[in-house]
Amino acid sequence: MAESSHKSAAFPLALTYAALVAYASLYPFADWRDQGITSWAFMTAPWPKYWTGFDFGINVAGYVPLGFLGAISVMRHRPDMPVALAVARAAFAAAALSFLMEALQTYLPARIPSNVDWALNSVGALAGAILAGLLERVGAVAHWGRVRGTWFVDEARGGLVLLALWPVALLFPAAVSFGLGQVFERLEDTIADWLADTPFIDWLPVRQFELEPLVPAAELLCVFLGALVPCLLAFVVARSLRRRAMLLPLTLLLGIAASALSAMLSWGPQHAWAWFDLPVRIGVVAAALVGATLLPAPRRLCAALALIAIVVQLGLINGAPESAYFAQTLATWEQGRFIRFHGLVQWLGWLWPFATLGYLLLVLSRDIRHS
């Protein structure tokens, strides 16, 4: 495979996924202590008495993307390396990460390290790496490189990573559809908890206002801006108007599908579309219409408008409290089997707008320097 002129998005995606796997594996990060056993003792433990098909499947499936992205990353950065060796390296690295996570769980009373989990994680990583190797063998990876060069600008790696992560970020329930980045209230409470019973609690600024629920018009605006931002981000990295016209509906459809999956996981399959009410439909249609209007807009203008949209949406969302009903939905995710998804997507939902904000600032500053 010839080395391309642009940087691959596989490596930052693999690092991001590895970090999220680590978060999910070590959550809730509480009550760390030495329990008097070696960190590798789980390797000789007997088969667990209780396990479910869900646990089996999620341990395998959770590491498939890591193995896949790791193998793609190795093949893109070392095109002279044999495919089998690239697959082996990626699978070994993912298995080593899984071993480290299980070993660290020895010091977390809330988590139970398991040799079965490690084996299933390793199998999933190997399957993902083998899939990447097979795609390389049939030329699909090289074909994607050519397609990427045709569709997107050379410096599109950061934007493509953010676009790939956006549907995943939407899987974590949001108080407002497409309303990512609502962190103010939780951040305020977390800092207060950290500083409790310390002299520094008096340093914490006292909020001079009460958070007010969003009025319907503001909620509709948040939906509109939340759906428009990834479309504008796609415009920033797309090469031509024709590519933009194809990416606009694809981006919106991915966001709708991810939101429907989130609702299905939260309330059941029969409620998968309960969130897609009239205000949300109006917001999505408005985003599509405005996006269509901006198809011929210059790249710098799209970046500037996306930046403004994020700032406005973050201001609106973080000026509103989390409702009791929404808190109950989060409690469903943060307990039981959803703990597996909790760490993987919660931080994405919180941080995606801020990461996009930073990327757009870099794009604008780079364009200004080169103009």
Q: What is the pLDDT of residue 349?
A: 82
Question: How is residue 41 annotated by DSSP?
Answer: G
Torsions phi, psi for 238 (to 5 deg): -80, 150
Predicted confidence at residue 155, as pLDDT, reads: 81
Residue 260 phi/psi, 5° resolution?
Answer: -65, -40
Q: What are phi and psi of 72, to 5 degrees?
A: -60, -45
**How many angstroms separate the CA atoms of 166 and 355, rounded?**
11
What residues are paired with 35 via a beta bridge?
Answer: none
Q: Mind giving me the DSSP string for 305-359?
A: HHHHHHHHHHHHHTTSPPPHHHHHHHHHHTSGGGHHHHHHHHHHHHHHHHHHHHH
pLDDT at residue 152, as a whole number: 86
DSSP readout, 105-158? HTT-TT----HHHHHHHHHHHHHHHHHHHHHHHTTHHHHHHHHHHHHB-TT-HH
Weakly modelled stretches of the chain, pLDDT under 50: 1-5, 208, 324-325, 334-341
Distance separating alpha carbons of residues 349 and 180, to the nearest angstrom: 5
**pLDDT at position 4, please?**
44
Q: Of 286, 265, 287, 284, which is closest to residue 276 (Cα–Cα)?
A: 284
pLDDT at 1: 39
Residue 327 near residue 4 (C-beta atoms within 8 A): no
CA distances from 289 to 273, 284, 371 (A): 22, 9, 30
CB 356 within 8 A of CB 349: no
Residue 319: the pLDDT is: 77
Who contacts 85 (Cβ-Cβ below 8 Å, separation ≥6)?
none
Residue 183 corresponds to which amino acid? V
Beta bridge partners of 152: 238
Report domain extents, the chain.
10-151, 167-370
Report the pLDDT value the prediction gives residue 56, as an integer from 0 to 100. 75
By C-alpha distance, which of 360, 194, 155, 345 is closest to 262?
345
The whole model's pTM is what?
Answer: 0.70
Backbone φ and ψ for 265, nearest 5 degrees, come out as -70, -30
Instruction: Tell me which residue of 370, 364, 371 sits closest to 158, measured CA to CA.
Output: 364
Quick one: pLDDT at residue 88?
94
What pLDDT is stored for residue 337 in this prediction? Answer: 45
- Stated as kind and residue range, the H or E segment containing 291 is helix 278-293
The count of other CB atoms within 10 Å of the CB of residue 328 is 9
Are 257 and 171 within 8 A, CB to CB? no
